[in-house]
Amino acid sequence: MRRAALLLVLLAGCGGDAAPQAAAPAREPSARLVDFSKKPPYVNTLDLDPQTKDFLLTTNRGFWRIAADGSKVEPIEGTVTDAGKSSPVGTFLEIRADGPGRLLGSGHPDVSGELPNYLGLLESVDGGKTWTAISRMADADLHKIVLRHGRLYAFDAILSAMLISEDGGKTFREEFTPRGLVIDFEVDPADPERIVASTETELFRTTDGGRSWRPLTPAKGIRLAWPAPDALYRADADGSVKVSPDGGTRWKDVGAVGGEPYELLATGPQALFMALSDGSILETTDGGATWRDRFRP
C-alpha cells in the first residue's frame, strides 16, 4: 500500500501541472501482421500515404496498407528490379513516403539468389508495387530514412554510418555513428546539423552533422519523433513517453502506453501516431498525455 501511495506522489510531481497518464493495460500481442518467432525488429516503418492518409506499415511479415479508420488491411506485394533481375520485396523493407505514390525504401529481397542481399536506396512511383535502385545497390542497408531540410538522411547498418545526401540519394556524405546499432534517429527541424540517435541502450546527439557524438541518457529501446524545435518526443521500451524542449538534454514525462513502442510518427507539434511491436497503431493529439486506438490487428 505504501509503495502504491509513493508512486502516486511521484507521478503527481512530474511533468508540470498535470500528472502523466498511467499506461493502459498491455494486451496480448497479435501475430496477424508480425512473426514473433523471428528475431526483432518486428516493425520496420510506420508512415502515412499523403493522398489517402492510409497507414503504411512494414513488418517482418510484409508491407501493409491500413485504411485510415483501421477497417481494412491490404498487403502490398512489391517487386524490385535491377540490371535485368528481380525479386519480391516487402518483408524486410524500410520505407518513407515522398509525395503521392512515391516511396523511398531500402531492405532485402524476399527471395535470395537473384539480387544482392542489400538493396541500397530504392524508389517506387506506384505506391510500392514496383521498385528500382537509386544508388548503393549491394552496398547499403538503410534502417531509417528521414527527409528534412532538403536533405535525405539515413542510417546504413553495413557501414554503421549516418548517410546525408543533398541530391535525393544519388550521392552521400558518410559520418560514423556511436558504437552499437542505431535503432532510430531524428533531425532537428530548426538545424540540419543537429541529430539525435538511439541505440538499444543509449541516446546520443550530434551538433555537427555526425562528425562527433556525445551521450545524452541511457535507456532501453528509445523511439523518436521531432515535429517542432521545442518538442522532441521519445517512447521507451517500457511504454513511457517523454518530451524534451531542448533537443534531448532535459525530459518531461507526459504519458505511457500498454505495449512496446516500435515507431513514432509525428504529424504536428502535439499529434503523433505510434506503432507497437505487433503493428497496433495508437494516436495522441495532446502531446502524448493520452492515447487512443486507431488500429488493432
Collapsed DSSP state (helix, strand, coil) of residue 18:
coil
Q: Which strands form 62-66's sheet, in the order they lie side by side?
A: 43-48, 55-59, 62-66, 73-75
**Separation CA 244–CA 42 (nearest Å):** 27
Class of domain 177-297: mainly beta
Spatial CA neighbour of 45 closest among 161, 155, 187, 192: 155
Spatial CA neighbour of 235 closest among 174, 173, 288: 288
Does the pLDDT at position 129 exceed 90? yes
Q: Which residues pair with 100 in a beta bridge?
A: none
**Separation CA 287–CA 177 (nearest Å):** 29
**Separation CA 134–CA 116 (nearest Å):** 14
CB 14 within 8 A of CB 262: no
When pLDDT is averaged across residues 106-125 and rounded to a whole number, the result is 96
Position 25 confidence tier, pLDDT thresholds 50, 70, 90: low
Q: Which amino acid is at 50?
A: P
pLDDT at 27: 72
Q: CB-based burial of residue 292 (10 Å sphere; 0-12 exposed, 13-18 middle, 19+ buried)?
A: exposed
Q: Where are the domains of the chain?
A: 34-158, 177-297
CB 294 within 8 A of CB 281: yes
When pLDDT is averaged across residues 193-203 and rounded to a whole number, the result is 98
| Cell numbers at 87, concatenated | 525479386
pLDDT at 134: 98
Q: How many CB atoms lie within 10 A of CB 197?
A: 26
Does the pLDDT at position 24 exceed 70? no
Task: State the chain's mean pLDDT as an integer.
Answer: 92
Position 26 confidence tier, pLDDT thresholds 50, 70, 90: low
Choose the weakest-confidence range: 3-12, 50-59, 258-267.
3-12
Position 92 confidence tier, pLDDT thresholds 50, 70, 90: confident
Position 28 confidence tier, pLDDT thresholds 50, 70, 90: confident
**Separation CA 33–CA 37 (nearest Å):** 12
**Separation CA 134–CA 122 (nearest Å):** 5
Spatial CA neighbour of 60 closest among 107, 105, 27, 96: 107
Torsion over CA: 154, 160, 166, 169 (sign): negative
Q: H helices then E strands: how many in the chain?
A: 1, 25
**Separation CA 129–CA 127 (nearest Å):** 6
| 243-269 pLDDT per residue, tens | 999 999 999 999 999 999 999 999 999
Query: Considering the domain 34-158 in this protein, what is its CATH number?
Result: 2.130.10.10
Position 93 confidence tier, pLDDT thresholds 50, 70, 90: very high
- Give Cβ neighbours of residue 61 (< 8 Å, ≥ 6 apart): 33, 34, 35, 91
